[in-house]
Amino acid sequence: DQQVKQNSPSLSVQEGRISILNCDYTNSMFDYFLWYKKYPAEGPTFLISISSIKDKNEDGRFTVFLNKSAKHLSLHIVPSQPGDSAVYFCAASSGTYKYIFGTGTRLKVLA
Amino acid sequence: GAGVSQSPRYKVAKRGQDVALRCDPISGHVSLFWYQQALGQGPEFLTYFQNEAQLDKSGLPSDRFFAERPEGSVSTLKIQRTQQEDSAVYLCASSLESGESSYNSPLHFGNGTRLTVT
């Protein structure tokens, strides 16, 4: 049973526009969420995180929104750049070291 | 070094062979993790070390998998009698903080070892 789901395997966005990547989770005990970015043949790189006491966290072009009642989080990238093309994973934990990852969304930003 | 280093980058093993995958974490990082990433999937937790102590090995798929970190720095993941279903990318990650103190200390991943069992 997948506790963290990324239902869109891929997404294409025009350069300069907003990219919105979505993630749903089923475990209400999750209280910390992260987004990782992965380029081919490299390991995932930490992007941004949010704890369950917040509903928004912003870092430059990246904003993560958390909707606890809907068990949904999203990553907004504005404006999108070609270098943002990568696979994005969301991950969640319930106050422990053990992160549960989604299956990833491949973002392609078109120049 | 500047980041988590894993070797080898690629490993091809015949079914039944033993393999050893190495991870050099970021210097001073207390926590070390091994994850397995199958094709088209997200990373899945295998095991966790706090310094030299293996505190959680609940994700290891079978007793053919063994991990160690004897001096609290370099770690080795060993897979005995490899099977085709072991084919995956094995990711090592380290973190400065330990256990539950990881809110401000996200995982830093290496580039992984791609294991192919033929």
pLDDT tens sequence across B58-90: 999 999 999 999 999 999 999 999 999 999 999
Query: Which of the two residues, A55 and A96, has the higher pLDDT score?
Result: A55
Instruction: Return the closest-CA partner of residue B43 out of A100, A87, A36.
Output: A100
Q: Among B45, B46, B50, which would you mutate to test the A interface (most chain A Cβ atoms within 10 Å of its Cβ)?
A: B45
Indicate the DSSP class of residue A27.
-
Residues 68-97 of A with CB under 8 A from B: 89, 91, 93, 95-97
The reply to whether residue A45 touches residue B103, judged by beta carbons under 8 angstroms, is: no
Closest chain B residue to A40, measured at CA: B111
The reply to whether residue A98 touches residue B56, judged by beta carbons under 8 angstroms, is: yes
B108 and chain A: CB distance < 8 Å anywhere?
Answer: yes
Instruction: Tell me how many residue pairs between chain A and chain B have CB atoms under 8 A apart.
Output: 55
Contacts of A55 (CB under 8 A, 6+ apart): A65, A66, A67, A68
- Mean pLDDT for all residues in chain B: 92
The reply to whether residue B110 touches residue A43, judged by beta carbons under 8 angstroms, is: yes
Is it the case that residue B104 has pLDDT exceeding 70? no
Contacts of B70 (CB under 8 A, 6+ apart): B52
User: What share of chain A in percent tops pLDDT 90?
Assistant: 93
The reply to whether residue B95 touches residue A46, judged by beta carbons under 8 angstroms, is: no
* Strand-pair category, B10-13 with B113-117: parallel
From A1-5, A11-15, B8-12, B50-54, the region with the lowest mean pLDDT: A1-5
* Strand-pair category, B88-95 with B108-109: antiparallel
Contacts of B10 (CB under 8 A, 6+ apart): B113, B114, B116
Q: What is the spatial distance between Cα B36 and Cα B38, in angstroms, rounded to a whole number? A: 6
Is it the case that residue A95 has pLDDT exceeding 90? no
3-state secondary structure of A106: strand
- Residue A89: its chain B contacts at CB < 8 A? 42-43
